[in-house]
């Protein structure tokens, strides 16, 4: 599409890298804080236990986010052109599921083209942003594409996301906060899919379906 916003490859790489750093820096910072507590000369057993628990939980979270980003944004398994959807489910659960949010995964286990798997994981991220108070994210196949539904308390469509998914940011500018939905739309178009978001079934549905033929194109 000629009206899709053009982002230089170096800018795209820099913004995606910035997004990955943003996702990982919080748990890594918590690990550093826990180590600083352990380094203090005076500490009781309760404080030591708290610090060790913080380090343990934060290290697990950092590992989960890195594994997710490796597939969703990186060149995981770059020697091949397909990724196991079972691996995608594993990394998605590691990032999405907690005491407030549950993931229902209904995508059959299979090898799938890499960009489609990356697209699916990015749709899961967007779905999580649509339910800031937690809820359920249901992931399934929809014909030759995907459907990811967020259900929870006061689900919402994040502002400006439709334009970003379509590759047409309202301000003709992309920054670190906008790169992930923009990148999701880029993945969809690369995979020959149209991605959309709408309020459906009491939640927010993100769909990716086969792109409609362009007028005049056989």
* In a domain? residue 61: yes
**Burial of residue 43, with CB atoms counted within 10 A of its CB: 0-12 exposed, 13-18 middle, 19 or more buried:** middle
The predicted pLDDT at position 198 comes to 94
| CATH code: domain of residue 149 | 3.30.565.10
- Can you give the residue range of the structural domain that contains 73? 9-210
pLDDT at site 4: 78
Residue identified by tokens 């590992």 is 63
Would residue 73 count as lying in a domain? yes
Q: Into how many domains does the chain fold? A: 1
**Which pLDDT score is estimated for 6?**
82
- For residue 218, being part of any structural domain is answered with no
Query: What's the pLDDT score for residue 218?
Result: 47
Measured over the CA atoms of residue 108, residue 76, residue 125 and residue 200, the dihedral's sign is negative
pLDDT profile of the chain (218 residues), mean per 10: 77 93 94 91 82 95 95 75 94 95 96 95 96 95 91 91 91 87 95 93 92 61
Please answer whether residues 155 and 130 qualify as being in contact, where contact means their C-beta atoms are separated by less than 8 angstroms. Answer: yes
Please check whether residue 3 lies inside any domain of the structure.
no
Task: Classify residue 50: in a domain, yes or no.
Answer: yes
Angle between helices 9-39 and 45-72 (to 10 degrees): 170
- 177, 178, 150, 151: which is closest to 163 by C-alpha? 178
CA dist 108 → 29, 88, 119 (Å): 37, 11, 16
- Residue 180 is assigned to a structural domain of this protein: yes
In a domain, 216, yes or no: no
């Amino acid at each position: 599409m000629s009206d899709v916003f053009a982002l230089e490859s170096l800018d795209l790489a820099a913004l995606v890298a910035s997004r990955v750093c943003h996702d990982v820096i919080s748990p890594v910072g918590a690990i550093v804080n826990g180590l600083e507590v352990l380094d203090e000369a005076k500490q009781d057993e309760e404080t030591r236990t708290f610090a060790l628990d913080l380090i343990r939980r934060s290290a697990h979270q950092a590992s989960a986010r890195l594994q997710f980003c490796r597939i969703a944004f990186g060149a995981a398994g770059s020697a091949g052109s397909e990724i196991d959807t079972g691996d995608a489910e594993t990394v998605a659960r590691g990032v999405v599921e907690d005491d407030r949010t549950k993931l229902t995964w209904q995508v059959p286990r299979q090898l799938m083209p890499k960009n489609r798997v990356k697209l699916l994981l990015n749709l899961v991220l967007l779905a999580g942003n649509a339910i800031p108070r937690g809820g359920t994210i249901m992931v399934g196949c929809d014909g030759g594409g995907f459907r990811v539904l967020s259900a929870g308390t006061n689900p919402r469509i994040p502002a400006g996301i439709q334009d970003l998914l379509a590759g047409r940011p309202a301000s003709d500018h992309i920054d670190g906060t906008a790169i992930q939905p923009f990148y999701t739309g880029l993945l969809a178009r690369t995979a020959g899919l149209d991605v959309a978001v709408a309020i459906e079934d009491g939640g927010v549905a993100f769909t990716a379906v086969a792109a409609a033929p362009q007028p005049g194109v056989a």
